[in-house]
A and B are shown apart, each in its own frame.
Chain A
């Protein structure tokens, strides 16, 4: 079977390049925009996802994990005795100023626990021993801090809220939405660093349920015992933290607008090139009809051309997006492209290209085969 659609498409290589470039541009734009969005959303809740806590107690109306507010640390005692609770601990998440050796000031988001190992936090330690945090004015710092603080290594000192702290360990992948570097400090040490706000206080209580515990019953009892706080499941709290950034920053709207514009540009480019190509091949389509071909034969040609453009454009666009990943990573931006999302983008690309071909369908439906006799 002679593949007229493919041969016609590849015959004019420049036009084909323009078509697939349009599709590839749209695909890359969608991947990068949505991938960055998902990456940022991942940062917004990455600590919640990794902490081994089933329930979170927060102060009332806390918007997201980074914007913590204090409440008495003794509340944890009320919750340790709740049936179905295996363990409960205080967690401080607090923004603190850091003085750098250069004299510049930066910020760090301090995560403070009494027992980090018990809560599987941090989850990716590359240097140092977490047990040493209790032994002095020590902290672990995430590698992402290099970009803001400059190079550092265990053994270096940094001044946190006026206190000289020794870096004794390094972590990876512990990121915040605002890209403020995360550091890990012993719970009591954190209170010492910011005594005015944190002495006798915590910002969260983490709860781990006992195996087989009735989550709903535990949740109800916890809410009863700390009536002036909010209590969230891990999923709810992660979702709330992400939504805060989507809604308060206009990030979601920006992402939707860019994706929409990317798709529109891709659609217009494909529609325009396919239509122009159809017009230029109108005599050929007339010939197909004259020798007995039907509109369906010509629709198949156009649909195949749109499909080829979609597939090649998608592959090129995906390749570009994947090549951009390491570049983005160098500036601490995560590009997350789940396979299910890639499948959706592929299906969308196909649908858009076929939709673009519909304009040409209408044109060929009206071709008069008698035009072949008009010399």
Chain B
């Protein structure tokens, strides 16, 4: 069953001089529960824009987007934060952890934003921190963690609260090859075990080794 379906998505931006620039030209993609998909493409191919639309951060100019059975209405942008909060977990290239919060608090805060509070939030945060193998580092601030450990905290944050979709933007870009491979393997294993659809936008060829499917995007279109 697909948790994410994008059909014929287009996106155009208006530049400073009023010229319209088309970034996506009918991109389509489906992601099933428990599936790991790698989205590859050269710089300027539109993959970040596509990821932003799939993550309900941007609305498409046209096309259809269904998230976990719910069609996203581009005319109601005020609904997007709710969809993001309940359905999507994010992993960013720069980790984007809150530097003042410990590893477990970073996860707990994301749960608080999703509406999970108190003891339930703490327990779930500790569970996912343990799942990424950082129980012994859960009280550490991000500055005291290595790059790989930071990305594992970011993965724990994305998985916390059980979103059916996890979107990752270049998750290995700031990690060395060995650590990157370890993080990817762990990420894949968790996504499979917890039955989440995982879409990884990447340049990194290592991602191919853990992906069920590789999708290429070029000039705003998904290549066959």
Interface residues, chain A, CB within 8 Å of chain B?
1-2, 4, 7-8, 10-11, 283-284, 286-294, 297, 369-370, 372-375
Bound Cα distance A292, B108 (Å):
14
Residues of chain B within 8 A (CB-CB) of A375 are 92-94, 169-170, 173
With most chain A CB atoms within 10 A of its CB, the pick from B52, B57, B93, B170 is B57
Residues of chain A within 8 A (CB-CB) of B98 are 4, 7-8, 284, 287
Partner pick for B81 among A1, A287, A294, CB 8 A cutoff: A294
Q: A292 contacts B86, CB within 8 Å?
A: yes
A278: min CB distance to chain B, Å: 14
Bound Cα distance A291, B114 (Å):
8
Residue B96 is within 8 A (CB to CB) of chain A in the complex: yes
Please, what's the 1-or-0 string for B63-107, where 1 marks a CB less than 8 Å from any CB in chain A? 000000000000000000110111011101110101111000100
Residues of chain B within 8 A (CB-CB) of A289 are 81
Residue B145 is within 8 A (CB to CB) of chain A in the complex: no
CB under 8 Å from chain A, chain B span 99-142: 99-101, 105, 108-110, 112-114, 117-118, 121
Q: A2 contacts B169, CB within 8 Å?
A: no
Interface residues, chain B, CB within 8 Å of chain A?
48, 51-52, 55, 57-58, 81-82, 84-86, 88-90, 92-94, 96, 98-101, 105, 108-110, 112-114, 117-118, 121, 157, 169-170, 173
CB-based closest 3 A-B pairs:
A292-B85, A11-B100, A7-B100
Partner pick for A7 among B89, B101, B170, CB 8 A cutoff: B101
Q: A292 contacts B57, CB within 8 Å?
A: no
Bound Cα distance A291, B92 (Å):
11
Residues of chain A within 8 A (CB-CB) of B48 are 373-374
User: When A287-B92, A372-B96 are in contact, do A4 and B58 touch as well, CB less than 8 Å?
Assistant: no
User: When A1-B118, A289-B81, A293-B113 are in contact, do A370 and B57 touch as well, CB less than 8 Å?
Assistant: yes
Residue in chain A with minimal CB distance to B108? A2
User: When A1-B118, A370-B58 are in contact, do A292 and B96 touch as well, CB less than 8 Å?
Assistant: no
Bound Cα distance A65, B121 (Å):
70
Residues of chain B within 8 A (CB-CB) of A283 are 94, 96
B116: min CB distance to chain A, Å: 10
Residues of chain B within 8 A (CB-CB) of A297 are 113
Residues of chain B within 8 A (CB-CB) of A370 are 52, 57-58
Residue in chain B with minimal CB distance to A287? B96
Contacts A8-B98, A288-B113, A293-B81 given; 4 further ones with Cβ under 8 A?
A1-B121, A2-B112, A291-B110, A373-B93
Bound Cα distance A370, B101 (Å):
22
Bound Cα distance A288, B112 (Å):
11
User: When A373-B52, A375-B173 are in contact, do A292 and B94 touch as well, CB less than 8 Å?
Assistant: no
